[in-house]
Amino acid sequence: MAATMQPAESDASPLLSVNNLEVVYDDVIHVLKGVSLDVPEGKIVALLGANGAGKTTLLRALSGLLDVHDGEVTKGSVHFAGRPVHHLPPTKIASMGIKQVLEGRRIFAELTVEENLRVGGHVAPRSIKTNMERVFGLFPVLAERRRRTAGYLSGGEQQMLAMGRALMSEPRCLLLDEPSLGLAPLIVQQIRDLIVEINASGTTVLLVEQNAAMALAISEHGYVMENGKIVMDKPSKELLDDSDVREFYLGLGAEGATKSFREVKHYKRRKRWLS
């Protein structure tokens, strides 16, 4: 009897696959210009880029939120688990297992922690209790504050609540938009550990970050986006060693010395990937 062959990992198609995607806002503002990116199941993939590069726009395209912002996919495709999703409404995409945690910790400030989590759990109503226990297990501080009004939580706790609310829908793929933004280094460390833990429990993660050091430390693969295009795409370990990434995203000089703000501000050399 012939033995059953398992496909080699490299042959498996990625859970999330973006191909040559173009996005336009208001019919004229061309923001994504042929973006391709893969997120394999079970991995953390990082997407780096300066302000205005188009990272949030890409996430909106993945979760179906472009419409709300008068944006539209004009070319290319997004496939999730082998199915095209780029023309589906956000509710349908969410029910398939893609969940975005928006930049800026959008929680319902007037509701309690527990009520926020219940809102997140409406997609999987039968599992609300189990999922809430799981979220409280991951974020014990939320369990302690379960009856507190969310608007009174600290920035780090609000970020945890936003992530916890997304996890209530049992996503297969979590899209995180700048989870470390504006948080103190110690809290960033906690968020980083939580992302690793969420991933270890089986959730695939696409992590958009300006904190390149954090994102590359925990991801397997990284993409760098500039002006609506992917300009670099490598295993995260290699990106951490790349001299341009070190200079422009990690603020490090050739010998690993931290550059002063003045040096970075006045730095004029063209990035090699643009030359």
Least distance to ligand ATP, CB of residue 219, Å = 17
Looking at beta carbons only, is 25 or 108 nearer to ligand ATP?
25
Q: Which is nearer to ligand ATP, 29 or 264 (CB)?
A: 29
Cβ atoms of 23 and 76 closer than 8 Å: no
Smallest distance from the beta carbon of 53 to ligand ATP, in angstroms? 4
Q: How far apart are CA 137 and CA 207, in angstroms?
A: 22
Looking up tokens 């300009």, which residue turns up? 231
> What is the SS3 assignment for 4?
coil
- CA atoms of 188 and 202, how far apart (whole Å): 22
The smaller minimum CB distance to ligand ATP, of residues 113 and 205, is found at: 205
Task: List CB contacts of 72: < 8 A, sequence separation 6 or more.
Answer: 23, 24, 27, 66
Sequence length of the chain is: 275
d(CA 91, CA 98): 10
Task: Provide the minimum distance between the beta carbon of 13 and ligand ATP in the complex, in angstroms, as a whole number.
Answer: 26
Rounded to a whole number of angstroms, the minimum distance from the CB of residue 67 to ligand ATP is: 11
- φ, ψ of residue 99 to 5 degrees: the values are -135, 130
Residues that bind ligand ATP (CB under 6 A): 25-26, 29, 31, 49, 51-57, 69-71
Residue with Cβ nearer ligand ATP (48 or 160): 48
